[in-house]
Chains A and B, each alone.
Chain A
Amino acid sequence: MKAAPFDYHLADHLDHALELLDHLGNDVKLIAGGQSLVPMMAMRLAKPSHLVDINRIQSLQQINLQEKSLYTGSTVKQKDLESSHISQAIPLFKQALPWVGHQQTRNRGTVGGSLAHADPSAELPLIATVLNASLHVQSHNSQREIRAQDFFLGPMWTSLAPQECLTDIHWPIWNKQFFGSRFLETSIRHGDFAMASAAAQINLNPDGTIQQLSFGVGGMGATPIAFPSLSQPLIGKHLSSEAMHELANQAILLTEPTSDLHASASYRMNLARTLLSRALLGAFEQAQQHPQ
């Protein structure tokens, strides 16, 4: 399983990378950690003529706390996000990152790489979708912001144009008061892609009503899925355990999972419903217990 031949270009800064993307044509791919791309090239499922390596660009490797968001450059390594104190601001990271492959994967894999690869069962795309993170994308002569819920279009398919590079992501930070979050996934082996996954995050008001709620599932369709149409109407309301189960049920009915070798569609629906229920309940319990 040896990759097909290609030419290699190391970009030392972002503008250089964007220039290369611009004039190397359409058969060019960016590489950072390569944990998804290199195996695909080994299997000859991807055969780009050119690779532009953005893994040494310092400006894309920053993590910092901003006023209302956690900022990560796109080539921040998953292991650095996992071990950084700053990531405590978004507890979903600490809960989900241990599920991203294994230590070897996370030592090379990048935050932006996982998002750009857009596997519908992957952990970081689900978190981005649930938080509706803000993704910044640049090309040689343009830049734009895309919200995560508009970024993922299908399996391994995003709204990135061929000459565009994902440069950084702003992950919204919620209120620390009455906060809860839960990430759950089930796979046959630890580190495999999830058969289904669920993430939920909640802020309660002091009176126990919902101040903010977001939840979603992975592995249940062409992209990770959040359910703003179901969570929005619940703001200001109380939510019982039974209602949470029903909410999970309603959400899953909106999905169309497929069957594959490891999980049938009906099993997936059952699994996702279970995980989503548990995630909602878990997040809610945590929010009630921890005024912080």
Chain B
Amino acid sequence: MAQINSYTITIEVNGQSVTKMVEPRISLVDFIREELRLTGTHVGCEHGICGACSILLNGDPVRSCCMFAIQANGMRITTVEGLAPERGQLSKIQDAFCEKHALQCGFCTPGMLIACQALINKIPQPNETQIRAAIGGNLCRCTGYQQIVDAVLFATKISSPNPEQ
């Protein structure tokens, strides 16, 4: 068996720099949940299908179960805990999820919010096809996706007073 070494990594997590020792084999999602105690990001499959572990890595949504924490050294990550603009406030997408009942058990929700936030960062006014493609890698067993689509449409219609812009 390989020797177990630990290495120091530094990651910016939700705007704060964090430095920890990790074994190479610790996945990024386990690092986030167990080391950083940010339990909002969830583990659903550990083989890259369900998307519950989705986070933003340098701004792009990735599956944190398909990375080792050590690979994220020097990078910037955003988890669901970092989506709200300020304490006591919700992001447009988080608020829209609440308004449109876009969740039930809440387990896929963090990953879903990450995927939706990444989408509207790139496409401010996505259509339904684009929304469904963007969340195609996030499985949900509660909602049937309809109200999630409705929530993104709702969030993005309000964000621009002039739809032509």
Direct contact of A and B (CB under 8 A): yes
Which A residues have a C-beta under 8 Å from some C-beta of B?
1-8, 10, 31, 34-35, 38-39, 41-43, 49-51, 53, 55, 79, 98, 101-105, 107-108, 190-191
Which B residues have a C-beta under 8 Å from some C-beta of A?
1-5, 7, 23-25, 27, 30, 46-48, 51, 54, 57, 60-63, 65-68, 70-71, 73, 115, 118, 133-134, 136-137
Give the contacting residue for A8; candidates B24, B61, B63, B66; CB below 8 A. B24
B136 lies within 8 A of A38 (CB): no
What is the CB-to-nearest-CB distance from A67 to chain B, in angstroms, rounded to a whole number? 32
A35 lies within 8 A of B118 (CB): no
A7-B5 CB under 8 A given contacts A42-B47, A42-B65: yes
Subset of 6 A-B contacts with CB under 8 Å: A10-B73, A38-B68, A43-B47, A103-B61, A104-B62, A105-B48
Give the contacting residue for A7; candidates B24, B47, B51, B118; CB below 8 A. B24
A34 lies within 8 A of B66 (CB): yes
What is the CB-to-nearest-CB distance from A185 to chain B, in angstroms, rounded to a whole number? 15
Q: With a CB–CB cut-off of 8 A, which chain B residues contact A102?
A: 51, 136-137
B3 lies within 8 A of A7 (CB): yes
A8 lies within 8 A of B7 (CB): yes
A2-B65 CB under 8 A given contacts A8-B7, A38-B48: no
Q: With a CB–CB cut-off of 8 A, which chain A residues contact B48?
A: 35, 38-39, 101, 105
Q: With a CB–CB cut-off of 8 A, which chain A residues contact B54?
A: 104
Q: With a CB–CB cut-off of 8 A, which chain A residues contact B5?
A: 7-8
Give the contacting residue for A107; candidates B30, B47, B61; CB below 8 A. B61
Q: Which residue of B is nearest A35, CB measured? A: B66
CA distance A59 to B115 in the complex (A): 30
B115 lies within 8 A of A8 (CB): no
Other than the given A34-B68, A39-B46, 11 more pairs (CB < 8 A) read: A5-B1, A5-B4, A8-B5, A38-B27, A38-B48, A51-B68, A98-B133, A102-B136, A103-B137, A108-B63, A190-B133
Q: Which residue of A is nearest B60, CB measured? A: A107
A6 lies within 8 A of B2 (CB): yes
Give the contacting residue for A103; candidates B2, B70, B73, B118; CB below 8 A. B118
What is the CB-to-nearest-CB distance from B90 to chain A, in angstroms, rounded to a whole number? 23
B2 lies within 8 A of A53 (CB): no
CA distance A250 to B11 in the complex (A): 55
CA distance A190 to B118 in the complex (A): 20
CA distance A281 to B84 in the complex (A): 50
CA distance A49 to B4 in the complex (A): 10
A39-B134 CB under 8 A given contacts A1-B47, A79-B60, A103-B115: no
CA distance A102 to B48 in the complex (A): 10
A190-B68 CB under 8 A given contacts A38-B27, A39-B47: no
Q: With a CB–CB cut-off of 8 A, which chain A residues contact B115?
A: 103-104
CA distance A61 to B118 in the complex (A): 23
Q: Which residue of B is nearest A83, CB measured? A: B122
A55 lies within 8 A of B71 (CB): yes
CA distance A53 to B71 in the complex (A): 8
Give the contacting residue for A1; candidates B3, B46, B57, B68; CB below 8 A. B46
Q: With a CB–CB cut-off of 8 A, which chain B residues contact A79?
A: 60
Q: With a CB–CB cut-off of 8 A, which chain A residues contact B57?
A: 107-108
Q: With a CB–CB cut-off of 8 A, which chain B residues contact A190?
A: 133, 136
Q: Which of A34, A98, A107, A190 has the most CB of B within 10 A?
A: A107
A108-B66 CB under 8 A given contacts A39-B48, A102-B136, A191-B136: yes
Q: With a CB–CB cut-off of 8 A, which chain A residues contact B134?
A: 103
Give the contacting residue for B67; candidates A5, A34, A103; CB below 8 A. A34
A2 lies within 8 A of B25 (CB): yes
What is the CB-to-nearest-CB distance from B118 to chain A, in angstroms, rounded to a whole number? 7
A3 lies within 8 A of B61 (CB): no
A105-B60 CB under 8 A given contacts A5-B4, A49-B2: no
What is the CB-to-nearest-CB distance from A11 to chain B, in angstroms, rounded to a whole number? 12
A42 lies within 8 A of B46 (CB): yes
Q: With a CB–CB cut-off of 8 A, which chain A residues contact B3?
A: 5, 7
